[in-house]
Chains A and B, each alone.
Chain A
């Protein structure tokens, strides 16, 4: 029976410093990364995502817990004995070696026969479309080209898992978009499990099969991009992934009551008393005031974003709600500051969150 988990972290703890000044970079993190998936660790800087990556690579040892690779305990194995390769944020290409020598480095260290090293290096050069640059020094390459060499070098030994530490952060916007597509293609063609670290939520949503959202050394939520966007488990995930509105509310039978008195139907509510309602800006609609469940509001500001226009609305009790409206062809949404309107939440879109 084969293990379906490429990487499994069990109750992993990583503390830096000692005694009372110790900081837990990872605080009891458990996660299963499945074979062949594109898994992203997403979170703000300092949340522990890079630390988890470094523990999987073996650059650091955990203070507690276990890390398994395809079912085998690798917790304390040195990095050179793990069938796992890394694409570094700084690329870390060897400056004294050519592009081809960089790519063949891992294969040579594995003791592969010369003919196989040559064949695989050529294949990798082709895979990242760098055949013409094989003899160049890495300092003669552009940022995007260095990125490709770093990818080829890490993929050449056919690792069980490829770890990517914010590899796109140094590239400009257009190149980053290209490399996102390139990475997806490489992952599809090689079938290797990718563990990708980023602080860019858009990158995480567009590229990943599953995303693990981290904050303060803890894994907050693991799920598909759709799950974490539409069903965030807590306030942190809801606010970190995309934009959202938070409204103070209190639990009433069948839903929650907002400060202005409007009652919003929310399913599966438990508990009572004060809570927070969240609704994405694109799930807020401007409607006719006569419509059922319409809430009166006043336009306080309009911000044009090209495809969308953000409409800032004040509810009667002063609470603020942002609605994202699609911009018409002439760019004018036909609203003015101070205008009295009415809004409605798309049924089923509003959620009550744990803090």
Chain B
């Protein structure tokens, strides 16, 4: 079989490199999860299994309020971002090509390219002046900031779905007496739905996980789960934080698995 096509798996050392990479990726996570069940504080000693840390985290009022705040922000931000992303995706695919289309595309995806710390500092200054002017101190700033950086994550799967859609379907709907609104509601939207749901889930996970921008934008007493955990770690390693991380890990894996199935081509 001399003419067999090139296969990377036949390169020398392929197996070793692959195993090393997967080890580096997953061993730390495995240790984190294992430690969340450990009896003692020490990360190096192993002396038994317990669910105490989960119970402790669950009962901790600071964790409860941070979790609730994280969920409120992630839910609001993912809904707003997905709505904006859907409009943007329709606007960039359902019209004739125009000059500066690439520029618009880059601008929508700006949060993917601009360093997060730059956005964080910019938002800090911008929101500070609004805070002074209006006196408003609420969660609105965090929701606005999260919505903004979640847009590209919601936009990409929606746009991919729209571009994969046969344009003659919308023409056919118009031919069959559907008004532009009915064409959107009965044809475009149902076909787009998996992309919208996938985009919303991705935005949700990204928002839930954010530290940098949240840390800069939040007012006093507005800790989200990740910033709370970071605050705890400044003092000492606690298996409680491991427990929270493990729960976040499970939640994220579940959402991303659902995302994978939604964006698969043949549904």
On A, residues with C-beta under 8 Å from B are: 57-59, 78-81, 84-86, 88, 90, 92, 94-96, 105-106, 109-110, 153-154, 157
Contact = CB atoms under 8 A, between A and B. Distances in A.
A103 B172 CA distance: 12
B171 A85 contact: no
B169 interface: yes
B22 interface: no
A92 B172 contact: yes
Contacts of B190: 96
Given A59-B171, A90-B168, A95 B176 contact: no
Contacts of A85: 175-176
7 contacts: A80-B179, A86-B175, A92-B171, A92-B172, A94-B191, A95-B191, A154-B176
Contacts of A105: 173, 176, 178, 186
Nearest to B190: A96
Interface in B186-220: 186-187, 190-191
Contact of B182 (A57, A88, A95, A109): A109
B168 A109 contact: no
B177 interface: yes
A59 B175 CA distance: 8
Contacts of B168: 88, 90, 92
B177 A92 contact: no
B61 interface: no
Given A94-B187, A95-B191, A109-B182, A80 B175 contact: yes
Interface centre among B175, B182, B186 (most CB of A within 10 A): B175
Nearest to A110: B177
Nearest to B179: A80
A80 B178 contact: yes
Interface residues of B, number: 17
Contact of A79 (B169, B175, B186, B187): B175
Interface in B216-262: none
B166 interface: yes
A94 B177 contact: no
Nearest 3 interchain pairs by C-beta: A106-B176, A109-B177, A92-B172
A96 B177 CA distance: 18
A193 to B, nearest CB: 16
B160 interface: no
B174 interface: yes
Contacts of B169: 92, 94-95
Identify whether the interface residues of B are mostly helix, strand, loop, or mixed.
helix
Given A80-B176, A94-B187, 20 more contacts: A58-B175, A59-B175, A78-B174, A79-B174, A79-B175, A80-B177, A80-B179, A85-B176, A90-B166, A92-B166, A94-B169, A94-B172, A94-B173, A96-B191, A105-B186, A109-B173, A109-B177, A109-B178, A109-B179, A154-B176
A81 B173 CA distance: 12
Contacts of A78: 174
Contacts of B174: 58-59, 78-80
A78 B166 CA distance: 20
Contacts of A58: 174-175
A95 B171 CA distance: 14
A251 B166 CA distance: 56
Interface string B153-170: 000000000000010110
Contacts of B191: 94-96
A258 B179 CA distance: 63
Contacts of B176: 80, 85, 105-106, 109, 153-154, 157
A84 B176 CA distance: 8
A123 B175 CA distance: 21
B177 A157 contact: yes
Nearest to A86: B175
Contacts of A110: 177
Contacts of A154: 175-176
B257 to A, nearest CB: 23
B172 A88 contact: yes
Contacts of A106: 176-177
A78 B176 CA distance: 11
A81 to B, nearest CB: 8
Contacts of B172: 86, 88, 92, 94
A2 B186 CA distance: 37
A90 B168 CA distance: 8
A95 B187 CA distance: 9
A279 to B, nearest CB: 44
A80 B171 CA distance: 9
Contacts of B187: 94, 96
A57 B176 CA distance: 10
B192 to A, nearest CB: 10
